[in-house]
Amino acid sequence: MPVLVASLMVASASNFYNDFDITWGDGRAKILNSGELLTLGLDKASGSGFQSRNEYLFGKIDMQLKLVPGNSAGTVTAYYLSSKGSTWDEIDFEFLGNLSGDPYILHTNVFSQGKGNREQQFYLWFDPTADFHTYSILWNPQRIIFSVDGTPIREFKNLESIGVPFPKNEAMRIYSSLWNADDWATRGGLVKTDWSQAPFTAYYRNFNANACVWSNGVSSCGTNSSPSTSKTNSWLSEELDSTSQERLQWVSKNYMIYNYCTDAKRFPQGFPPECNLS
């Protein structure tokens, strides 16, 4: 019973005042509407960011974002899970700004034990600046699934059996930041930030974490990571059904613009082992 209660508590409606701390930006980040809306700001002097008060070890995390509109070239809005230390784990969404009218690039990556180099990039099938859309990370012991408005765009499976490190031992916080990366973000740094468009603003709402909170070495989901029989914790063993697999293939075919598993120049000694499993 305590497991179920803890999970329900974590999955309750969020309030940014309760769930997050603004960590930098000197007033450029704001919590508004009685805690229902959070905005990050960027100007020539500084960006801004926030982090979750809780640490999580597995979870299904949703956040609605509305990205910087207009000419957002040079800006990056990062939304990710990360642990600390030199062998950190990390699960990334990064939104690379672009010239007005050009599509944003959604950049994803997975780090385990301090190593990443697993980038996949996508265009989106909608304008992410016109309205809020839900960006989700499902992270359980078997897989990580990145989703947009419920459509899976990427799956990273636990393939430790063939020597691929998988993030499963370190609790992670949620972080987000809006910052200037015009040395690389837009067309490899060719397009610089137009500061006459500043301040730039990204918007956040409807955070939800159905997750195992990690506190003082104890998980709110119990002592092990085996799937719970509770329906509330069904995400702990969730996988893609046939319909979701079809959606994933649709995104991969039509919207993926970069995949590390097809970049032979980067891996002259051979692709990482997970790339050989189609």
Residue 12 C-alpha from the chain's centroid: 20
Q: Is residue 30 part of a domain?
A: yes
Q: Is residue 104 part of a domain?
A: yes
Q: Is residue 6 part of a domain?
A: no
Give CA–CA dist 181/188, Å, rounded.
10
Q: What is the pLDDT of residue 227?
A: 46
The residues, ordered by sequence, that sit 6+ positions from 43 with a Cβ below 8 Å of its Cβ are: 28, 195, 198, 199, 200
Phi-psi region of 185 (alpha: psi -120 to 50; beta: other; left: phi over 0): alpha
Question: Count H helices, E strands: the chain?
Answer: 3, 16
The residues, ordered by sequence, that sit 6+ positions from 91 with a Cβ below 8 Å of its Cβ are: 80, 81, 82, 109, 110, 111, 137, 139, 144, 146, 167, 172
Catalytic residue among 36, 55, 94, 155: 94
Beta bridge partners of 80: 92, 175
Domain that holds residue 182: 16-215+234-275
Count of the separate structural domains present in the chain: 1
Cβ proximity of 245 and 253 under 8 Å: no
Q: Is residue 229 part of a domain?
A: no
Q: Is residue 121 part of a domain?
A: yes
Q: Is residue 225 part of a domain?
A: no
Q: What is the pLDDT of residue 232?
A: 72
Task: Confirm whether 160 is a catalytic residue.
Answer: no
Q: What is the pLDDT of residue 185?
A: 87
What CATH number does residue 131 fall under?
2.60.120.200
Give CA–CA dist 229/10, Å, rounded.
17
Tens-level pLDDT at each residue, the chain (278 residues): 344 444 444 444 579 999 999 999 999 999 999 999 999 999 999 999 999 999 999 999 999 999 999 999 999 999 999 999 999 999 999 999 999 889 999 999 999 999 999 999 999 999 999 999 999 999 999 999 999 999 999 999 999 999 999 999 999 999 999 999 999 888 888 889 999 999 999 999 999 999 999 999 999 998 654 544 456 789 999 999 999 999 999 999 999 999 999 999 999 999 999 999 85
Task: Confirm whether 90 is a catalytic residue.
Answer: yes
Q: What is the pLDDT of residue 277?
A: 85
- For residue 126, count CB atoms less than 10 angstroms from its CB and return exposed for 0-12, middle for 13-18, buried for 19 or more: exposed
Q: What is the pLDDT of residue 273?
A: 95
Q: What is the pLDDT of residue 24?
A: 98
Q: What is the pLDDT of residue 187?
A: 85
Q: Is residue 85 part of a domain?
A: yes
Give CA–CA dist 14/29, Å, rounded.
18
3-state class (DSSP) for residue 5? helix
Q: Is residue 53 part of a domain?
A: yes
Single pTM value for the model: 0.93
Quick one: tokens of 58?
């597995």
Q: Give the H/E segment covering residue 134.
A: strand 133-139
The residues, ordered by sequence, that sit 6+ positions from 264 with a Cβ below 8 Å of its Cβ are: 271
Give CA–CA dist 175/240, Å, rounded.
26
Catalytic residue among 36, 90, 155, 238: 90
Q: For 69, which DSSP code? A: P
